[in-house]
C-alpha cells in the first residue's frame, strides 16, 4: 500500500508583475490502486498541480505538503521523485535532439533500477511497448520527441509509462490533440498500466471524452486553483452535460 497525500498546497509562479499564486490550497489523497480524474477549465491550475508534484523549477511552493508514504516529496530533487515512484506524462513532451529514444529509455531505466536492464529481455520489452502503442520499431532510433507528430509524442509518453513502470502516474492532458484512434490506443495503454497491482493514476483533462475509455474512481472539479467539488464517476457525466459554467461563476 502506498499513498500520495497533498495537503493545503499553495504554489506561485514568477511573472513580470511579481509572484502570482496559481494553486490556492489543494488537498487530495490518492491511494494505491485508485484512479482520480481532475477536470477543469483552461487556466484553472490543474497542470500546475501536476508539474508542482513532479518538481518543475518554474513553480514555487509557498505552502502545504506533498508526501508519498509519509516521505516529503517537496524535499526531493526531480529525479529523486521519479525514483520514489512518480511519473509525469507531459502535455507537451520536450525534444532532446541527438538522443535516441532507445538510449533515453535505457538511461532512465538504469537510473530508476540502479542497474542496467538485462539486454535480452530489455529489447523485447521495448519493442513490445512500442508495438502496443502502434509505434514502428525504427521509432527507437529517432531522437527523443524530435519531429514526432502530436500523437506520436503522446504514445511515446505512454510507452515510457509501460516500460518505466512507476507507482504513480500523473497524466497531464494526455488526451489533448489526439484523434479518436490514437485516443483509444493511449487509453488502452493507461488501462493496461492500471491493471497492474497497486498502480495509481492522476488523470488531468479538459474534456470528458477520455473518460469513456478510462473509468476513474474519483472525479474532482478544479477551478481557480482549488478543488471545487469531488465525486464519483457520475460527476464527469454531469460535467459533460452542463460544462464548468456553474463552478466558474461561483469561483469568480
Partner 1 sequence: MTAAVQEALELDKVESHLHPEGSFDVEAHEVPKGREEVWRFTPLKRLKGIHDDAPFADGATKVEVEAAAGVTVETVAADDDVRGLSGLVPTDRVSARAWAASTGATLVRIPTDTVIEGATVIRHHGTGSETAGAGHAVIVAEKFAKATVVLVFEGSAVVADNIEIVVEDGADLTVVSVQDWADDAVHLSTQHAKVGRDANLKHVSVSFGGDVVRHDFSAEYSGPGGSVESLGLYFADAGQHIEHRLFVDHTAPKTKSHVVYKGALQGEKAHAVWIGNVLIRKEAEGIETYEENRNLILTDGAWADSVPNLEIETGEIEGAGHASAIGRFDDEQLFYLRSRGISETEAKRLVVHGFFNDLIRQIGVPELEEKLTSTVEAELAKNINTLIEKDATA
By CB under 8 A, the residues from 131 to 160 that bind partner 1 are: 143, 160
Query: Rounded to whole angstroms, how far apart are CA atoms 39 and 6?
Result: 17
Query: Rounded to whole angstroms, how far apart are CA atoms 23 and 9?
Result: 7
Q: Which of 78, 121, 181, 196 binds partner 1 (CB under 8 A)?
A: 78
Query: Rounded to whole angstroms, how far apart are CA atoms 57 and 55?
Result: 6
Please say whether the beta carbons of 43 and 251 come within 8 A: no
Contact window for partner 1 (CB under 8 A) among 8-16, 24-32, 91-99, 204-212 = 91-99
Please say whether the beta carbons of 87 and 169 come within 8 A: yes
- Smallest gap, in angstroms, from Cβ of residue 249 to partner 1? 35
Instruction: Decide: is 56 part of the binding site for partner 1 (CB under 8 A).
Output: yes
DSSP labels, 14-74: EETTEEEEEEEEEEEEEETT-EEEEE--TTSSHHHHHHHHHT-TTEEEEEEEEEETTEEGG
Q: What cell does 179 get?
A: 484523434
Instruction: Decide: is 79 part of the binding site for partner 1 (CB under 8 A).
Output: yes
Contact window for partner 1 (CB under 8 A) among 62-70, 73-81, 215-223, 240-248 = 73-81
Q: How many CA atoms lie within 13 A of 137 on its CB side?
A: 5
- Give the x-and-dash track for 174-213 against partner 1 (CB under 8 A): ----------------------------------------
Give the CA distances from residue 135 to residues 126, 148, 163, in Å, rounded to whole numbers and listed in that order. Answer: 11, 11, 14
Neighbouring C-beta atoms of residue 125, cutoff 10 Å:
17
Instruction: Decide: is 94 part of the binding site for partner 1 (CB under 8 A).
Output: yes
Please, which residue, 203 or 227, has the CB nearer to partner 1?
203
- Read off the DSSP letter of residue 116: P
Please, which residue, 52 or 208, has the CB nearer to partner 1?
52
Neighbouring C-beta atoms of residue 83, cutoff 10 Å:
14
Instruction: Decide: is 116 part of the binding site for partner 1 (CB under 8 A).
Output: no
Instruction: Decide: is 82 part of the binding site for partner 1 (CB under 8 A).
Output: yes
- Smallest gap, in angstroms, from Cβ of residue 50 to partner 1? 10
Q: Which of 55, 189, 216, 225 binds partner 1 (CB under 8 A)?
A: 55
- Smallest gap, in angstroms, from Cβ of residue 43 to partner 1? 20
Instruction: Decide: is 13 part of the binding site for partner 1 (CB under 8 A).
Output: no
Could you list the residues that contact partner 1 (CB under 8 A)?
54-58, 77-79, 81-83, 87-88, 90, 93-99, 103-104, 107-108, 111-112, 143, 160, 164
Amino acid at each position: 500500500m502506498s499513498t500520495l497525500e497533498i495537503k493545503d498546497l499553495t504554489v506561485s509562479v514568477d511573472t513580470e508583475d511579481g509572484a502570482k499564486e496559481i494553486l490556492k490550497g489543494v488537498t487530495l489523497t490518492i491511494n494505491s490502486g485508485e484512479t482520480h480524474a481532475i477536470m477543469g477549465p483552461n487556466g484553472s491550475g490543474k497542470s500546475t498541480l501536476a508539474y508542482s508534484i513532479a518538481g518543475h523549477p518554474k513553480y514555487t511552493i509557498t505552502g502545504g505538503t506533498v508526501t508519498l508514504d509519509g516521505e516529503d516529496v517537496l524535499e526531493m530533487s526531480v529525479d529523486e521523485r521519479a525514483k520514489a515512484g512518480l511519473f509525469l506524462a507531459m502535455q507537451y513532451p520536450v525534444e532532446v535532439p541527438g538522443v535516441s529514444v532507445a538510449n533515453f529509455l535505457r538511461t532512465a531505466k538504469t537510473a530508476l533500477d540502479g542497474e542496467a536492464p538485462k539486454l535480452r529481455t530489455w529489447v523485447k520489452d521495448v519493442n513490445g511497448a512500442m508495438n502496443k502503442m502502434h509505434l514502428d520499431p525504427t521509432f527507437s532510433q529517432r531522437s527523443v520527441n524530435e519531429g514526432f507528430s502530436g500523437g506520436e509524442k503522446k504514445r511515446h509518453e505512454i510507452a515510457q509509462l509501460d516500460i518505466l513502470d512507476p507507482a504513480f502516474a500523473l497524466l497531464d492532458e494526455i488526451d489533448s490533440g489526439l484523434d479518436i484512434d490514437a485516443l483509444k490506443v493511449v487509453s488502452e495503454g493507461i488501462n493496461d498500466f492500471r491493471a497492474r497491482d497497486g498502480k495509481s493514476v492522476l488523470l488531468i483533462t479538459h474534456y470528458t471524452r477520455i473518460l469513456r475509455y478510462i473509468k476513474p474512481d474519483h472525479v474532482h472539479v478544479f477551478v481557480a486553483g482549488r478543488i471545487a467539488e469531488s465525486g464519483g464517476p457520475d460527476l464527469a457525466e454531469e460535467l459533460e452535460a452542463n460544462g464548468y459554467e456553474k463552478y466558474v461563476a461561483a469561483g469568480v
